Chains A and B, each alone.
Chain A
Amino acid sequence: MTKLIVILLSAVFINNYVLSRFLGICPFLGVSKKLDSATGMSLAVIFVMLIATAVTYPIQFYLLTPNNLEYLQTIVFILVIAALVQLVEIILKRYMPSLHKSLGVYLPLITTNCAVLGVTILNVQDYPVNETTSFLWGFTQSMVNSLGSGLGFFLAMVMFSGVRSTIEGSDVPKNFKGLPITLIAAAITSLSFLGFGGVIENLFA
């Protein structure tokens, strides 16, 4: 149980996908302008990360590894994730129109988001099924890690949309207006997450 909490918290704070691993930067810069769109996007990412892991993890260890097809990992994962997101979109549109509307364009946008693909591949790498780990235990760890990664993305997006609205209202030098000041702010935000390094492991040591 402690292990799972450590995985969750370190996925959120230490190995934050956006701010420490630099994956998923394009939605981070593109959709963080307003709080509500940032929230919508992040919720969609959490959701897709979870279902993507739930599907790709079994594929890896029941299909690819036994047949020595690990080199097909990337293409199979992208294919499966894309199809899955489409399926989820169809289901949401039919049964949960309001949720479908609030997730909006973000759901199809993140089908091949690098953060989503990154989570699935890193899960397979970091929590593999081997002599010491059963499939179920590896799968649980992966799911917790995906949830943490999604929450970390959420945290980064919400924090950064706050930073950006502050920038919008402040008097920025003319040649820093727009993207330059956004990138500088992103760098400083990312720097602040360095401070979490080592904290979580030592909390439960």
Chain B
Amino acid sequence: MSEILMAVIPVVIIGVICAAVLVVASKLMAVKEDKRFPAVRECLPGANCGACGYAGCDGYAKALCESGDVPSNLCIPGGDAVAAQLSEVLGVEFADTIEQVAVVHCSGDCGRTQDKVDYSGIESCAAAKMMYGGKGSCTYGCLGFGDCQSACPQGAICIENGLARVSTPKCIGCGLCAKACPNHLISLVDDVERVVIACSNKDKGASTRKVCSVGCIGCKKCERVCPNGAIKVTDNIAVIDYKKCGNCPDFGVCAKNCTTGCIVLTDLSGMHRMK
């Protein structure tokens, strides 16, 4: 009997001491947590994409709780629904979220551009880019190994015929693909826009023509036909200023007049608009 007690008592004493120390420590060193934090965090989608500009959903929720002047409409994947919920929880004014979708500025698939080398290295765009700018003849274009595809949390990107395509109804506009693309071909565009420049080649027209049948040759025709002056050709590539575009009465006049067809008229309605 005393043998058992001799074993039990020390362990119990050690256990009680440890418990007492932990209780005292947790009381003394309790970290104050904002009571609204769990509620706010609950509203956010939890994709941790960083589109709001904070380190993940936890970071944004913390910022919202701590400071009153952080806007509640920064969550792009969540869209209006989350912004409305957040405004309700925090008791601030609701502001409309500008939803965005990812757009690929390249349309050089296997039929329109050619490979210049037979690449058999690591199957990733970042690695292929380091080998003389990739396997394709156009060094600005889509590398086609799908770094964006693997970065996408929604499975909205797929590689078709050697070219990344965004399925906009699935896109939540987090921008992770834009960060993953080594050629910076993907950008986020407000999902009300309709016209996209599907090329990023900054070479002179003649050399662009040689490597791709749908590359922007910098002919400036779009610049001339645009009634709002929203398109500018800089560095041999047309760029749309979306602030000026959109109120064109003859919608898509630039796309219709484009010599090579690198200006595309498309529907960019993201998942929020589809709801």
Contacts and interface: CB of A to CB of B under 8 A. Distances in A.
A90 interface: yes
B130 interface: no
Interface string A166-180: 000111000000000
Interface in B72-116: none
A69 B25 contact: no
A79 B15 CA distance: 7
B183 to A, nearest CB: 19
Contacts of B30: 94
A191 B122 CA distance: 27
B8 to A, nearest CB: 10
A91 B122 contact: no
Contacts of A69: 6-7, 10
Interface in A63-89: 63, 67, 69, 71-72, 75-76, 79-80, 83-84, 86-87
Interface in B188-224: none
B64 to A, nearest CB: 18
Nearest to A75: B11
Interface string B121-138: 011100100000000000
Contacts of B123: 169, 171
A67 B10 contact: yes
A80 B22 contact: no
B22 A87 contact: yes
A94 B11 contact: no
A87 B14 contact: no
A93 B127 contact: no
| Contact-residue bracket for chain B | 10 to 19
A30 to B, nearest CB: 21
Contacts of B18: 79-80, 83-84
Contacts of B7: 69, 71-72
B31 A76 contact: no
B7 to A, nearest CB: 6
Given A169-B122, A169-B127, A79 B29 contact: no
A85 B122 CA distance: 42
Contacts of A94: 29-31
Contact of A72 (B10, B29, B122): B10
A166 to B, nearest CB: 10
A63 B29 contact: no
Interface string B19-34: 1011001100111000
Given A90-B29, A94-B31, A169-B124, A76 B14 contact: yes
B22 A86 contact: yes
A93 B31 CA distance: 7
B22 A67 contact: no
A83 B127 CA distance: 47
The 7 closest A-B pairs by CB, nearest first: A83-B18, A94-B29, A169-B122, A90-B25, A90-B29, A90-B26, A87-B25
15 contacts: A67-B10, A69-B10, A72-B11, A76-B10, A79-B18, A80-B14, A83-B21, A86-B22, A90-B29, A93-B31, A94-B31, A169-B122, A169-B123, A169-B124, A169-B127
Interface of A: 63, 67, 69, 71-72, 75-76, 79-80, 83-84, 86-87, 90-91, 93-95, 97, 169-171
